[in-house]
């Protein structure tokens, strides 16, 4: 049986070098994974075991079975994993890893046990590469549509230091907080969008159905209509005319063109700069930038990523392009030796209180705790901003609907009174 020489790390992160017998390289990897070892390299010894001779003193010919066709683990298009599978995979991996299984064995078990198609396809693809000797971080790097580069780098650092479980726990906490923030944002936007939709439906019902019938009725009765009624009827006539259709098509075309322009580099930069100048969105985007910076950088530094690499990864997590460019310039100054708080202060993006907290952390050598405090404070601030945003939008939409419906009611009632007065005078 062939012998294989291997280098690996145990659960404590210590290097282990030895050899073992196994039918094949894949079997050797499975045996090492069952022992809880994180394989670094496996090589078959050049000198294999001697072959036994037959009674006649000659070596019997080797008979090798035809290799079984390898089952492809490439997922079907409808099963291709996406970024939505990242957090569930890390949570499942952490549950098994903390139970005593090695990362490789945990992935193998997940590839067999999980029933959700996309997550199962992801685990199967990871196990295919791990079984061939790739470490978990390298296997995850081959799924960039699922795992962000910062995640794979954190996993690599956890493998190198033997603290993979702690790294997984921090990443799960970080990603859970990000998911909760997105959920709060969607929840905050759902009610205003619903109100705008209902208000638009009410306005269209009055303009397209009720007012044309009112116009026909008032015209048949005769008499002079009030100014408010005339305005509404003219607005309804315009909406139903060819000019109204052209105006609607122009508005839709303009919105589609604006959305397409925003996808370009220049358009994204320009629209991001405009959003920063708006009363409600500007402070919210600044708070988002501070939160993304504090959360991401604290997790990266806490897991052993170098400051230079951590700053470059943090830069990619900032969504607003204006802030991202400002942070990029600050990163360059930090790499030249300037303090992080001073470099960020030159950007004019970060609030002074954030810079003061960061400076205190730098002076005391507690940068990570300071970043965590900043992230906690701004997570609460963003929640409060979302609640206020919801109330302002909902109140504004309700006020606009009430004013418009009240104006319509006033126009209809005044028209009825005007017509009835005309009949009395004629009688």
Query: Over 20-64, what HEC string results?
Result: EECCCHHHHHHHHHHCCCEEEEEEECCCCCCCCCCCCCCCCCCCC
Identify the H or E element spanning 9. Answer: strand 3-9
Question: What pLDDT was estimated at residue 222?
Answer: 62
Residue 57 in tokens = 């003193």
Residue 255 scores a pLDDT above 80: yes
Q: What is the mean pLDDT of residues 277-285?
A: 86
Is 194's pLDDT higher than 90?
no
* Cβ 119 vs Cβ 89: under 8 Å: yes
Query: Can you give the pLDDT at residue 309?
Result: 85
Query: 13 falls in which pLDDT band (50, 70, 90)?
Result: low
| Residue 236 CB-half CA count within 13 A | 21
Instruction: For tokens 């609907």, name the residue.
Output: 401
DSSP for 87-151, please give it: HHHHHHHHHHHTTT--HHHHHHHHHHH--SHHHHHHHHHHHHHHTTT--HHHHHHT-TTTS-HHH
Stretch 251-255: mean pLDDT, rounded?
Answer: 91
Alpha carbon distance 324, 282 (integer Å): 15
| % of residues, the chain, pLDDT over 90 | 15
How much is the pLDDT for 61?
Answer: 43
Mean pLDDT in the chain?
A: 80
The pLDDT of residue 49: 44
Q: Which of 50-64, 200-214, 397-411 shows the lowest per-residue confidence on average (mean pLDDT)?
A: 50-64
pLDDT per residue as tens digits for the range 43-96: 777 654 443 333 334 444 443 333 433 444 455 555 688 888 899 999 999 999
Model confidence at 9: pLDDT above 70: yes
pLDDT of amino acid 342: 92
Pick the range with the lowest mean pLDDT from 51-65, 257-271, 340-354.
Answer: 51-65
Which of the residue ranges 191-200, 294-303, 371-380 would you say has the lowest mean pLDDT? 191-200
Beta strand pairing call for 38-44 and 15-21: unpaired
pLDDT grade for 310, boundaries at 50, 70 and 90: confident
- 58 touches 26 (CB < 8 A): no
The residue that leads in pLDDT, 222 or 6, is 6
pLDDT at position 257, please?
Answer: 92
CA separation for the pair 427, 422 (Å, rounded): 9
CA angle at residue 25 from 145 to 137, to 5 degrees? 25
DSSP 231-285: HHHHHHHHHHSHHHHHHHHHHHHHHHHHHHHHTSHHHHHHHHHHHHHSTTHHHHH
With contact defined as beta carbons under 8 Å apart, do 143 and 126 qualify?
A: yes
Output the furthest CA–CA distance in the chain (Å, rounded).
136
Q: What is the pLDDT of residue 126?
A: 92
Q: Does 188 score more than 60 pLDDT?
A: yes
pLDDT digits (tens, 9 = 90+) for 348-399: 888 899 999 999 998 888 899 999 999 889 988 888 888 888 788 778 877 8
Per-residue model confidence (pLDDT) at position 422: 64
Q: Is 382 exposed, middle or buried (CB count within 10 Å of its CB: 0-12, 13-18, 19+)?
A: buried
In this structure, of 19-33, 128-142, 157-171, 355-369, the range with the lowest mean pLDDT score is 19-33
Q: What is the DSSP letter of 224?
A: P
* Residue 234 in this model has a pLDDT that exceeds 60: yes
Is residue 123's pLDDT more than 80? yes
Q: Please give the pLDDT value at position 79.
A: 66
Mean pLDDT computed over 134-152: 88
Query: What pLDDT is attached to residue 239?
Result: 76
pLDDT tens for each residue of 18-31: 888 777 777 777 77
Of 147, 143, 144, 88, which Cα lies nearest the Cα of 119? Answer: 88
Crossing angle for the helix pair 307-316 and 321-335, to the nearest 10 degrees: 170
Q: Give phi and psi for 9, each to the nearest 5.
A: -125, 140
């Amino acid at each position: 049986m062939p012998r294989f020489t291997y280098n690996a790390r145990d659960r404590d992160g210590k290097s282990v070098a030895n050899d073992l017998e196994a039918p094949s390289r894949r079997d050797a990897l499975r045996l090492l994974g069952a022992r809880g070892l994180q394989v670094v390299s496996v090589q078959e010894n050049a000198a294999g075991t001697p072959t036994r001779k037959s009674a006649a003193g000659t070596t019997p010919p080797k008979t090798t079975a035809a290799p079984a066709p390898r089952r492809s683990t490439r997922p079907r298009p409808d099963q291709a994993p996406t970024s939505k599978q990242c957090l569930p995979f890390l949570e499942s991996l952490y549950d098994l890893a903390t139970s005593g299984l090695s990362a490789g064995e945990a992935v193998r078990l997940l590839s067999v046990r999980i029933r959700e198609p996309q997550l199962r396809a992801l685990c199967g693809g990871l196990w295919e590469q791990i079984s061939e000797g790739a470490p978990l971080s390298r296997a995850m790097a081959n799924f960039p549509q699922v795992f962000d580069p910062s995640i794979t780098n954190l996993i690599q650092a956890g493998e190198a230091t033997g603290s993979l479980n702690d790294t997984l726990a921090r990443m799960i906490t970080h990603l859970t907080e990000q998911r909760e923030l997105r959920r709060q944002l969607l929840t905050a936007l759902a009610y205003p969008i619903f109100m705008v939709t209902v208000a638009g439906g009410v306005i269209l019902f009055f303009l397209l159905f009720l007012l044309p019938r009112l116009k026909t009725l008032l015209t048949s009765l005769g008499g002079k209509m009030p100014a408010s009624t005339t305005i509404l009827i003219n607005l309804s006539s315009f909406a139903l005319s060819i000019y109204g259709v052209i105006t609607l098509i122009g508005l839709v075309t303009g919105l589609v063109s604006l959305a397409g322009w925003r996808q370009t580099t220049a358009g994204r930069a320009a629209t991001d700069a405009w959003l920063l100048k708006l009363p409600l969105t500007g402070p919210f985007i600044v708070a988002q930038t501070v939160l993304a910076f504090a959360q991401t950088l604290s997790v990266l530094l806490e897991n052993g990523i170098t400051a230079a690499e951590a700053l470059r990864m943090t830069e990619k997590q900032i969504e607003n392009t204006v802030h991202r460019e400002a942070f990029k310039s600050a990163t360059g100054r930090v790499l030249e030796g300037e303090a992080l708080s001073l470099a960020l202060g030159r950007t004019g993006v970060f609030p002074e209180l954030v810079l003061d907290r960061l400076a205190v952390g730098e002076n005391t050598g507690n940068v990570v705790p300071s970043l965590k405090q900043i992230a906690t404070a701004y997570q609460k601030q963003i929640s409060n901003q979302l609640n206020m945003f919801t109330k302002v939008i909902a109140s504004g939409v309700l006020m606009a609907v009430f004013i418009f419906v009240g104006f319509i009611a006033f126009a209809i009632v005044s028209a009825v009174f005007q017509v009835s007065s005309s009949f009395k005078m004629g009688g």
